């Protein structure tokens, strides 16, 4: 018998798909997988400068009104607003 | 021999409290200008240390790294590296940190250390950190970073004494052997490594409370709520508008009558002639018509600075980001566009918070379409002369409805233009990212706000005294020369260069239903829109006075058709009728091209709208 639910919850997935209340840890950055206006290197640099590094704890605190976008993410003790498009580059578990 | 001036530079992440520290150190001894060639604000201030050393300090634009991804951040990088021509190399770099939130700043410190500049870390807002239960092992942090670390409370009297003492000590020491600059743009791997190192240092020296700032969480639960958040934003905007339009009114009337009295004094003291006319009509009424807006500018900046210091601005941008995004605008464009309802000039200046150049240009281009307060006298005059005070649908005042329609037309056209700019110029580009720190809420401090408002007001007055003054002189010249021949009938302006230009341009404007008198009035209206009201009074030879505006209305109602009046209203929604706005666009974009584009598209829109309005109105029998 296979129960996929517990394993799914532990699957790495993009922060860009997370809903309000989600909390987890950053697994890796995948800047080339986000469809951002920024180049992969630039996007990755900016994310790191805002504290998105592997191992950091994140929590989705708020969602915007239209399309639940952007999201406000608590990362360690800083809150960063980011659009889902860019948050797709942050893979969390 | 007196010791040479000591140069300090303040560096820090946005929201680190850098500016309040700068204000605490320098008070009102500040000079605000622009860095040459770019539109980045250069803030320098002066103070004297307890041991009597003269110090100059520059407040560098906030940044998370030295990569320099915007013009602001390039300035910070170049000054820290001592590469900026014409700027002193800092003797000491102060990296300012919000002591409650050190993670991103410690990474910046590690990057700054590579530049080899003497460096000191200032843990600002240390009182808030202590109250929240954050404990910092300052000695250990200093040891691990290898630089002096001081604590400060910028907003409290004496809260910077530690910093001042340490500055004196560093200044007295022999200059450290100049270290080599090892800084190079960091690769992604190096960035990551410095953030890891920063996290390691923080784990060893700082203990955070179990619970984060509960006030911020509580306020955000309401303020960022999808429904309540928008309602609060609407309420904030409503109060802001109320303040700008209603509270400023008595002060504006006071200023306006003071300038009128001054003009009258000049009129009475000086013999009639050119000098009298120049001083009264050119200088005093010209500059006065701009300075009248000072109360509005002060109030709008008071609101902006209060909301900014409180931490609400970032939330407003968060709430509006996708809503504005539908029209191709960035969330941060919201406040500049809002300010433009008072006056496009502070609005365009406020676009500096938008770091993406494309988004900033779009915002600058559409800001003048927002109905600024200078249009109100013109709208009021025409509406009260031509639109009957009737109720429609039983309860709506027709005049109010027309006024509302004019505002709505301005907003709709701004959004439309922004959408078209994006569609035609930047269609294939993905929207610029919106990545913004939402800082913890903080109580704004009166002193810091007062200094901020004072510097903005001073800048506005300086501009009124230079650019706008010269425009006024030019327009007065056009309206006064050549003088009317002896025994001429009608007003002197009818014989002037302005009238010649008006008559020459009349064929161009005839399809809009404008006669030459209107065209003449539009020329001084270029200096400031509302001056057109006074100019119409002059061309129709109405004596000024208390009831002048009512009289102009009565005269116009007999001389113009309704179609002409409506056409002029349509013109005023769009027309690039403000030389000062154009001058600010030229300065803020650093190019004549964008000024010309703004002028061109607004003129085209105004012409098309007036043409359509006039012809439809005539066809409906209002000719």
- pLDDT tens-digit series, residues B579-595: 888 888 887 887 889 99
Chain A residue numbers with beta carbons less than 8 Å from the beta carbon of B331 are: 70
pLDDT class for B354, splitting at 50, 70, 90?
confident
Q: What is the pLDDT of residues B23-72, one digit of tens each?
A: 889 987 888 776 766 667 788 999 999 888 899 999 998 899 998 877 77
The pair of three-digit structure tokens given for residue A59, joined into one six-digit string: 């929590």
Indicate the DSSP class of residue B9.
Answer: E
Are B114 and B31 within 8 A, CB to CB?
Answer: no
Nearest-angstrom CA–CA distance, B60 and B87: 12
User: B159 or B562: which carries more pLDDT confidence?
Assistant: B562
Q: Judge whether residue B378 has pLDDT over 80.
A: yes
Structure-token pair, residue B129: 């950190």
Q: What is the largest CA-CA distance in chain B?
A: 91
Chain A residues with CB inside 8 Å of B188's CB?
Answer: 41, 44-45, 48
Residue B342 exposed, middle or buried by CB count within 10 Å (0-12, 13-18, 19+): buried
**Which of A26, A59, A77 best tests the B interface by mutation, with the highest count of B CBs <10 A?**
A77
Q: Is A9 on the interface with B (CB under 8 A)?
A: no
Residue contact A51–B432, C-beta within 8 A: no
Specify the pLDDT at position B282: 72
CB contact under 8 A, A41 and B196: no
CA-based radius of gyration for chain A: 13
Q: Which chain A residues contact residue B216 at CB under 8 A?
A: 79
Please state, in angstroms and rounded to a whole number, the distance separating the CA atoms of residues B208 and A33.
34
Nearest to B432 among A35, A37, A66 (CB): A37
> Tokens 């009737």 — which residue?
B390
Helix (H) or strand (E) holding B396: strand B396-397
Match 């920063």 to its residue by tokens.
B198
Look at A83 and B433 and tell me if their CB atoms are within 8 Å. yes
Looking at every residue in chain B, the average pLDDT score rounds to 84
CATH code given to domain A10-92: 2.30.30.90
A19 touches B: beta carbon within 8 Å: no
Give the residue from B200, B227, B322 with the most A CB atoms within 10 Å of its CB, the best one to mutate: B322
Q: How far apart are CA B317 and CA B363, in angstroms?
A: 14
* Local confidence band at B379 (pLDDT 50, 70, 90 cut-offs): confident
Superfamily classification of domain B6-212:
P-loop containing nucleotide triphosphate hydrolases (3.40.50.300)
Q: Are B104 and A49 within 8 A, CB to CB?
A: yes
Q: Which of A82, A57, A61 is nearest to A19 (CA)?
A: A61
All structural domains of chain A with their residue ranges: 10-92
Please report the ipTM that was assigned to this predicted complex.
0.90
Best of A34, A57, A70 to disrupt the B interface by mutation (most B CBs within 10 Å)?
A: A70
The reply to whether residue B229 touches residue A67, judged by beta carbons under 8 angstroms, is: no
Q: Quick check: B538 pLDDT over 80? A: no
* Residue among B216, B217, B433 whose CB faces A38 most closely: B433
Q: Is A40 on the interface with B (CB under 8 A)?
A: no
Instruction: State the pairing for strand pair B119-124/B149-151.
Output: parallel
The nearest CA of chain B is from the CA of A3 a distance in Å of: 35
Helix, strand, or coil here: B45? strand
CA distance B616 to B623: 9
Indicate whether A1 pLDDT > 70.
no
Contact B100 A41 (CB under 8 A): no
Considering only CB atoms, A48 lies closest to which of B188, B217, B432, namely B188
First to last CA, chain B: 82
Least confident of B7-16, B440-449, B465-474, B551-560: B465-474
**Chain B contact present for A61, CB below 8 A:** yes
- Phi and psi, residue B206, nearest 5°: -125, 135
pLDDT band at B351 (very low <50, low <70, confident <90, very high): confident
The whole-angstrom separation of Cα B265 and Cα A11 is 81
Separation between Cα atoms, residue B334 and residue B362, nearest integer Å: 12
Question: Each residue of B261-284: pLDDT tens digit?
Answer: 888 888 888 887 778 877 877 777
Chain position carrying tokens 């020369």 = B481
Q: Nearest Cβ partner of B230 from A36, A42, A65?
A: A65
Is 70 exceeded by the pLDDT of residue B467?
no
Query: A51 at the B interface (CB within 8 A)?
Result: yes
Rounded Cα distance between B6 and B576, Å, is 47
Residue of B129, B187, B438, B441 best to disrupt the A interface, most CBs of A under 10 A: B438
CB B618 within 8 A of CB B563: yes
What is d(CA B176, CA B432) in angstroms, rounded to the nearest whole number?
A: 43
Cβ-contact B331, B321 below 8 angstroms = yes
Residues in A closer than 8 angstroms to B432, CB to CB, are 37
Phi and psi at residue B202, to the nearest 5°: -65, -45
pLDDT for the residue B458: 83
Cβ contacts of B333 within 8 Å, gap of 6 or more: B324, B351, B354, B359, B362, B363
Residue of A nearest to B186 (CA): A45
Q: What angle do CA B225, B228, B230 make, to 5 degrees?
A: 90
Given pLDDT bands bounded at 50, 70 and 90, which one contains residue B430? Answer: low
Within 8 A of B435 by CB-CB distance, chain A residues are: 46-47, 50, 80-83, 86
DSSP reduced 3-state for A88: coil
Please name the member of A45, A62, A67 whose beta carbon is closest to the beta carbon of B191: A45
Nearest residue of chain A to residue B331 (CA atoms): A70
**A2 has a pLDDT exceeding 50:** no
Residue A71 confidence (pLDDT): 95
State how far the Cα of B444 lies from the Cα of B19, in Å rounded to an integer: 12
pLDDT in tens, B132-190: 888 999 999 999 999 999 999 987 877 888 899 988 888 887 666 567 788 888 899 99
Q: If you measure CA to CA, which chain A residue comes closest to B225? A: A62
Q: Is the dihedral of CA B613, B616, B622, B623 positive or negative?
A: positive
Which of A38, A53, A75 best tests the B interface by mutation, with the highest count of B CBs <10 A? A53
Q: What's the DSSP call for residue B87? A: S
Percent of chain B with pLDDT over 70: 91
Helix (H, G, I), strand (E, B) or coil at B197: helix
Q: Find the closest chain A residue to B217 by CA distance.
A: A61
């Amino acid at each position: 018998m296979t129960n996929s639910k517990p394993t799914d919850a532990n699957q790495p997935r993009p922060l860009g798909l997370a809903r309000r209340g989600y909390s987890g840890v950053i697994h890796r950055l995948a800047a080339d997988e986000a469809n951002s206006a920024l180049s992969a290197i630039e996007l990755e640099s900016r994310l790191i400068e805002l504290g998105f590094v592997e191992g950091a704890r994140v929590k989705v605190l708020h969602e915007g009104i239209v399309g639940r976008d952007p999201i406000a993410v608590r990362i360690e003790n800083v809150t960063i607003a980011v659009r889902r498009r860019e948050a797709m580059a942050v893979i969390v578990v | 021999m007196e010791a040479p001036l000591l140069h300090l530079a303040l560096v820090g992440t946005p929201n680190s409290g850098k500016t309040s520290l700068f204000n605490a150190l320098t008070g009102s001894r500040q000079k605000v200008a622009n860095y040459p060639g770019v539109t980045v604000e250069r803030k320098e201030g002066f103070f004297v240390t307890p041991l009597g050393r003269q110090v100059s300090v520059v407040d560098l634009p906030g940044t998370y790294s030295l990569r320099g991804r915007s013009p602001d951040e390039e300035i910070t990088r170049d000054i820290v590296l001592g590469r900026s021509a014409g700027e002193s190399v800092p003797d000491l770099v102060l990296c300012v940190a919000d002591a409650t939130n050190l993670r991103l700043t410690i990474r910046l410190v590690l990057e700054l250390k590579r530049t080899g500049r003497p460096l000191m870390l200032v843990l600002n807002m240390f009182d808030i950190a202590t109250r929240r239960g954050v404990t910092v092992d300052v000695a250990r942090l200093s040891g691990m970073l290898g630089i002096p670390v001081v604590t400060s409370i910028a907003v409290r009297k004496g809260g910077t004494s530690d910093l001042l003492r340490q500055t004196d000590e560093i200044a007295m020491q022999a200059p450290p052997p100049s270290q080599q600059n090892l800084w190079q743009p960091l690769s992604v791997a190096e960035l990551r490594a410095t953030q890891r190192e920063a996290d390691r240092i923080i784990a060893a020296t700082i203990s955070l409370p179990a619970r984060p700032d509960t006030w911020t969480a509580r306020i955000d639960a309401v303020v960022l709520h999808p429904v309540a958040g928008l309602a609060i934003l609407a309420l904030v905007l409503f109060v802001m508008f109320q303040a700008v339009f209603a509270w400023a009114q008595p002060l504006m009337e006071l200023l306006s009558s003071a300038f009128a009295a001054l003009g009258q004094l000049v009129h009475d003291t000086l013999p009639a002639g050119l000098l009298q006319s120049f001083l009264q009509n050119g200088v005093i009424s010209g500059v006065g018509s701009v300075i009248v807006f000072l109360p509005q500018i002060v109030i709008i900046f008071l609101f902006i600075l209060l909301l900014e210091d409180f931490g609400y601005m970032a939330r407003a941008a968060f709430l509006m980001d996708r809503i504005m995004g539908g029209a191709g605008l960035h969330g941060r464009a919201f406040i500049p566009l809002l300010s433009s309802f008072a006056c496009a000039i502070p609005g365009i200046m406020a676009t500096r918070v938008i770091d993406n150049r494309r988004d900033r240009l779009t915002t600058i281009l559409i800001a003048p379409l927002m109905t600024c307060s200078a249009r109100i006298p013109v709208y009021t005059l025409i509406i009260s002369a031509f639109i009957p005070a009737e109720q429609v649908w039983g309860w709506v005042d027709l005049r109010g409805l027309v006024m509302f329609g004019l505002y709505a037309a301005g907003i709709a056209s701004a959004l439309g233009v922004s959408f078209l700019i994006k569609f035609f110029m930047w269609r294939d580009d993905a929207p610029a990212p919106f990545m913004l720190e939402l800082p913890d809420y903080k109580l704004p401090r009166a002193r810091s706000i007062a200094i901020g408002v004072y510097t903005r007001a001073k800048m506005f007055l300086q501009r009124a005294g230079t650019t706008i003054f010269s425009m006024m002189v030019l327009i007065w010249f056009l309206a006064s020369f050549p003088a009317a021949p002896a025994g001429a009938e009608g007003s002197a302006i009818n014989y002037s260069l302005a009238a010649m230009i008006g008559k020459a341009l009349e064929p161009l404007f005839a399809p809009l239903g404008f006669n030459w008198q209107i065209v003449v009035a539009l020329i001084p209206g270029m200096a400031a829109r509302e001056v057109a009201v006074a100019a119409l009074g002059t061309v129709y030879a109405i004596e000024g006075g208390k009831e002048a505006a009512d009289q102009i209305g009565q005269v116009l109602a007999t001389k113009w058709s309704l179609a002409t009046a409506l056409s002029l209203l349509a013109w005023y929604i769009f027309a690039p009728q403000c030389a000062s706005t154009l001058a600010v666009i030229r300065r803020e974009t650093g190019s004549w091209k964008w000024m010309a584009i703004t002028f061109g598209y607004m003129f085209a829109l105004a012409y098309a709208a007036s043409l359509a309005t006039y012809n439809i109105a005539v066809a409906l029998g209002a000719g």
